[in-house]
Structure 1
Amino acid sequence: MHKFLLPAALLLAAGTAQAQIPAGTILVGGNINYSRRENQSELTPTSGKRTTQTVTGFDLGPTAGYFLADNLMLGLGLDYQKNHATAPVYVASLTGDISKLMDLEAKSRYLAVGPVVRYYHFLGENAAFYGQAGAGYRTGKAEDEYLLSANPNAMGTETRRTESSGFYGQLSPGFVYFPVSKLGLEVSLRGLSFDKMSSESTSTTGAKSPKASSSLFDAGIGLNDLRFGAAFYFGR
């Protein structure tokens, strides 16, 4: 009996030892996300026409890190976000006909950088859940058009440019599958985030608004918050 138990125990120990990321491993990878959504609403109760607001977003997040202990990584993460939204403007003629006049646009770009900590919990030899926490500095620029008057034909539009900077914190869950030991295919959620930002806006006419500060807590757990990525584990 002991002749069978000893090899089985050795095989189990070998499998357990393999189902981890050892200290000294170097991770280089990242994730990417693209989203598009359309928000539709009735233009007027009797027009029979619908207005559509389109919002697109692109998110790229490279990460590099070093495993201080088994399954525990300390690294540096970057996050670049680019968003674009359009909202149509309609006007009514003297005869009551409604037609589209223009699209108002809103654009923004954000860059965040800071340290990240990630811990893995393996489900077997080739799959693991992980949790990642990060914090750091965020900066961004945004432009948005708006009407100067309720009558768009009267005074047209103006563009407001906003620059912002501040700090963020984030906690996100993820899942990784290893087709080979040195390559992990990842899917994660944006998760919980907190931003504390200060901003200042300037219009195309040169008018400046006073500096403003804001705090935002957000939970990104929807389909639009999914991120797909891959990472190489050098030295594993």
Structure 2
Amino acid sequence: MKKTVLIVLLSLSSLNLFSQLNKGKTVVSLDGNYLKTNTENGVTSNYNASQVKNLNLGASVGYFIADRIELGIGLNYYWEKESRTNKLMITDFYQAEVMDLKSNGFLPHIYLGYYYPIVNRLYLSGKLKFGYGKIKSEYSTLIAGRSNIPSESSYSPPPYTTMSKDTYEVDLFNAEIIPELTWFISPKVGLSLGLGGVKHTMIDWETDNSSWSVNFDPAYWNFGFKIGL
């Protein structure tokens, strides 16, 4: 009996559980990340705080042009909301400022990926991804202040309030190198974990308005799943 079980296990271990990564196969991927951060600085007389909410959702379809080499296209949705508060008090002067910034956009992309097997059903992949889209933003700012001049003074300036709003749109291009872990729970279904990466971003195609970033912080990792067709 033990020999029979051993033979069965050896036979199963020799099966190609990763046939979906062979040439000619197609994989549909879905992933996303949500992040909320809060920061506070200063004291009562000079205080500022901010809250940022960020959502990234992505969908892609990849075709294996060779064993473990994937070429694909996809679409990402980006949404962000940032709220800032600043309070300043100097002797008899007090001012408060509140700003809200909302941004969103769809970013189509193409990518080339390679999957390297680590252990049974676990792959480490690297993706070279190029994306382009338009980001729409809307912001509003409210500033209010007053001066508490002593009553014996001949002049006391009135309180003031100002508000401004605006919208704008920018072209966004980015190139990324993304490491990713994929574990296949079945021959056609896998769980993926994007581990951050290296990114080059350019706004409005201006080299003076471009930047590089290297980020492997787990807070920014993407979780998703893959379906082999």
Partner of 2:24: 24
Partner of 1:36: 36
Partner of 1:78: 75
Aligned-partner Cα distance in 2 for 1:86–1:164: 20
Conserved in 1, the CA contact under 8 Å of 2:96 and 2:144? no
Q: How many residues align?
A: 209
Structure 1 residue 230 corresponds to structure 2 residue 225: yes
TM-score scaled by length of structure 2:
0.78
Partner of 2:155: none
What is the RMSD of the two structures over their aligned residues, measured on CA atoms? 3.2
Distance 1:134 1:93, change over 3 A: closer
Structure 1 residue 119 corresponds to structure 2 residue 125: no
Q: Which of 171, 174, 190 is the matching residue for 2:177?
A: 171
Stretches of structure 2 that go unaligned for 5 or more consecutive residues are: 1-6, 147-158
Conserved in 2, the CA contact under 8 Å of 1:63 and 1:77? yes
Conserved in 1, the CA contact under 8 Å of 2:112 and 2:127? yes
Stretches of structure 1 that go unaligned for 5 or more consecutive residues are: 1-6, 200-210
**Partner-residue secondary structure (3-state), 2:219:** helix
**Partner-residue secondary structure (3-state), 1:23:** coil
Partner of 1:186: 192
Conserved in 2, the CA contact under 8 Å of 1:198 and 1:213? no
Distance 1:157 1:89, change over 3 A: farther
Partner of 2:54: 57
Aligned-partner Cα distance in 2 for 1:147–1:178: 51
Identity of aligned pairs, percent?
21
TM-score scaled by length of structure 1:
0.76
Conserved in 2, the CA contact under 8 Å of 1:129 and 1:175? yes
Aligned-partner Cα distance in 2 for 1:197–1:11: 54
1:87-106 map, 5 Å: 87-90=84-87, 103-106=98-101
**Partner-residue secondary structure (3-state), 2:49:** strand
After TM superposition, give the deviation of residue 52 of structure 1 in Å.
Answer: 2.8
Conserved in 1, the CA contact under 8 Å of 2:111 and 2:128? yes
Distance 1:217 1:149, change over 3 A: farther
